[in-house]
Amino acid sequence: MQTAVSSSSRTEPCNPACLEVGDVVLVKVAGTIYLHKVTAVDPARTRVQISDNRGCISGWAGWAKVAGICVSVNGEPRPRTGGKARTSE
């Protein structure tokens, strides 16, 4: 798979209920955490569809499997990430 995000990306814990199509998220799949692009959101079933950067669908991931959101790549902020980070209380 061709990478779309370099090793100098920054992620933050997120609120999965706020995710939108186009967001890049950290998702735990079979015990390993990967960066994937969100290609669909299903709030009724509390899950997101994840795909690689070429549009190949990897499948659905429950919100519990979403570990974080990519907020910047090479120091450049990613669009529409404001308000999606999970706040600690």
Query: Over the chain, what is the mean pLDDT?
Result: 88
pLDDT at residue 64 is higher than 60? yes
Q: How many residues does the chain have?
A: 89
pTM: 0.84
The angle formed by the CA atoms of residues 33, 19 and 73, to the nearest 5 degrees, is 60
Domains of the chain, first to last: 9-77 (2.30.30.140)
Select from 84, 76, 6 the least CA-distant residue to 38: 84
The pair of three-digit structure tokens given for residue 68, joined into one six-digit string: 């974080």
Q: Over the stretch 19-48, which tens digit does the pLDDT of each residue have? A: 999 999 999 988 899 999 999 999 999 999
d(Cα 33, Cα 81) in Å, to the nearest integer? 20
What number is the average pLDDT over the span 62-68? 95
In degrees and rounded to multiples of 5, residue 17 shows phi and psi of -65, -20
